[in-house]
């Protein structure tokens, strides 16, 4: 029997980079816990997680379909189209998009009304590289939908705190996406793909990423103030700062292994520390 990793489910999960869900999910769950001022109901928790999974799956499938031929020409992504057929990806896109809308409708009226807007935002990122160098910020915006949506799911309204957190997520994602995009500098320049890395060059892009992560740190502090979080949350901030520093220290080596460590390990740790800090502050 083939292992899960080589079966259709494993190939599908690799296609949508399911492991990267760890980046946005902690911020959504953190916002949900703060909005609930403690444990949310199991119903809301389940629906928010389901929305996250459906929305991210739809966004990744849309991205793969839009970039199908482009990915085939990029040595780093050339094997993606072998994981799942294009027709299967199209069907799964429709299913995941519909699933997101149905689950959003089950939460409250505002989440249902905003569901098409959320899908439009997460889909829009995939086409921005055709006309703007600010594509990294649109990726950040796509992930920033998660904490705002979770807050609305709990409260039925939009407040300042989730907007501050969303701003931090935008800067955080744009920063680490700049680092990740340095891998494709030569290919993107050759293909005429718009990217800040192509526009600024690798060195200046890494400096821009540092600035963005300074803004991320400031936004996380701002979220703590807006959400009236306690001292435990602020005690976690030096740990976040240390991981961001490690990310940039590793990325400056410009080797592939270093970039992957900076991208996955460091950022997964940042989001996990945020969630743990919020949980300890609100739940204990």
pTM above 0.85, yes or no: yes
Q: How far apart (Å, rounded) are the C-alpha atoms in residues 64 and 125?
A: 12
Decide: helix, strand or coil at residue 87. Answer: helix
Q: How far apart (Å, rounded) are the C-alpha atoms in residues 239 and 202?
A: 27
Per-residue pLDDT band for 257 (boundaries 50, 70, 90) equals low
Whether 155 and 40 have beta carbons less than 8 Å apart is answered as no
pLDDT digits (tens, 9 = 90+) for 12-38: 666 666 666 667 899 999 999 999 999
Fold of 20-283: Tetracycline Repressor; domain 2 (1.10.357)
pLDDT digits (tens, 9 = 90+) for 84-109: 788 888 999 999 999 999 999 999 99
Domain boundaries, the chain: 20-283
Return the HEC string of 17-46: CHHHHHHHHHHHHHHHHHHHCCCCCHHHHH
Q: What is the dihedral of CA 178, 184, 188, 189, to 10 degrees?
A: 90
Mean pLDDT throughout 280-284?
90
Q: What is the CA radius of gyration of the chain?
A: 19
């Amino acid at each position: 029997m083939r292992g899960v990793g080589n079966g259709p489910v494993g190939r599908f999960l690799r296609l949508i980079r399911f492991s990267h869900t760890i980046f946005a999910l902690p911020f959504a769950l953190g916002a949900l816990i703060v909005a609930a001022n403690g444990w949310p109901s199991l119903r809301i928790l389940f629906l928010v997680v389901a929305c996250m999974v459906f929305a991210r799956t739809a966004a990744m499938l849309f991205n793969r379909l839009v970039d199908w031929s482009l990915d085939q020409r990029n040595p780093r992504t050339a094997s993606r189209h072998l994981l799942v057929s294009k027709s299967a990806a199209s069907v799964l896109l429709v299913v995941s998009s519909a699933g997101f809308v149905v689950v959003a409708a089950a939460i409250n009226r505002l989440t249902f009304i905003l569901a098409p807007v959320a899908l439009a935002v997460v889909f829009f990122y995939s086409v921005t590289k055709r006309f703007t160098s600010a594509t990294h910020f649109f990726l950040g915006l796509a992930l920033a939908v998660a904490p705002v949506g979770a807050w609305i799911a709990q409260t039925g309204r939009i407040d300042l705190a989730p907007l501050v957190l969303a701003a931090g997520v935008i800067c955080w994602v744009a920063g680490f996406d700049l680092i990740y995009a340095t891998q494709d500098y030569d290919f993107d320049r050759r293909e005429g793909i718009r990217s800040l890395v192509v526009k600024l060059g690798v060195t200046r892009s890494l400096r821009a990423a540092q600035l963005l992560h300074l803004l991320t740190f400031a936004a996380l502090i701002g979220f703590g103030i807006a959400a009236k979080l306690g001292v435990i949350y602020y005690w976690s901030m030096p740990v976040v700062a240390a991981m961001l520093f490690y990310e940039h220290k590793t990325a400056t080596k410009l080797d592939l292994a270093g970039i992957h460590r900076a991208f996955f390990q460091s950022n997964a740790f940042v989001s996990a520390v945020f969630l743990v800090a919020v949980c300890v502050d609100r739940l204990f």
